[in-house]
């Protein structure tokens, strides 16, 4: 019963965040080079395509992203969702996170998903 209630609370919290257009808070987890969690809410970085974890380039991208753990983020949500993640463009410490990852790792722009033509 406790697990069901927890799952429902998480679902309602994610929906409440999904209805917002901007999410701000601390980077609480780094899943990989193109997915972070802000206040425990998973965010898939829009337009960013990073190599997968488990590959040398993917592990390097994840390590680069890890340096932002605990930093303040501001994510503009596009309204899209993929799997359990909201999609957005994020700034961390006033730096465009997607652009930073493209300049400092093997991550590339995924033009098909650059819905706001930022890159």
pLDDT one-digit tens code per residue, 31-76: 999 999 999 999 999 999 999 999 999 999 999 999 999 999 999 9
Dihedral Cα 100, 78, 40, 57, nearest 10 deg: -40
Domain 2-113 has CATH 2.40.50.90: yes
The per-residue pLDDT for 9 is 44
Between CA 118 and CA 97 the distance in angstroms is: 12
The domain spans of the chain are: 2-113
Q: Is the entire prediction scored with pTM above 0.75?
A: yes
Q: Report whether 29 contacts 40 (CB < 8 A).
A: yes
Per-residue pLDDT band for 112 (boundaries 50, 70, 90) equals confident
Helix pair angle (97-104, 56-66), 10° resolution: 130
């Amino acid at each position: 019963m406790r697990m069901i209630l927890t799952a429902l609370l998480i679902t309602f919290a994610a929906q409440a965040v999904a209805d917002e257009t901007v999410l701000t808070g601390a980077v609480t987890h780094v899943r990989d080079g193109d997915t972070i969690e802000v206040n425990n809410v998973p965010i898939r970085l829009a337009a960013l395509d990073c190599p997968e974890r488990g590959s040398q380039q993917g592990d390097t991208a994840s390590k680069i992203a890890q340096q932002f753990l605990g930093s303040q983020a501001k994510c503009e949500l596009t309204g899209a969702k993929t799997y359990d993640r909201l999609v957005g463009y994020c700034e961390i410490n006033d730096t465009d996170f997607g652009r930073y990852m493209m300049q400092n790792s093997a991550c590339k722009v995924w033009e098909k998903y650059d819905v706001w033509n930022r890159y």
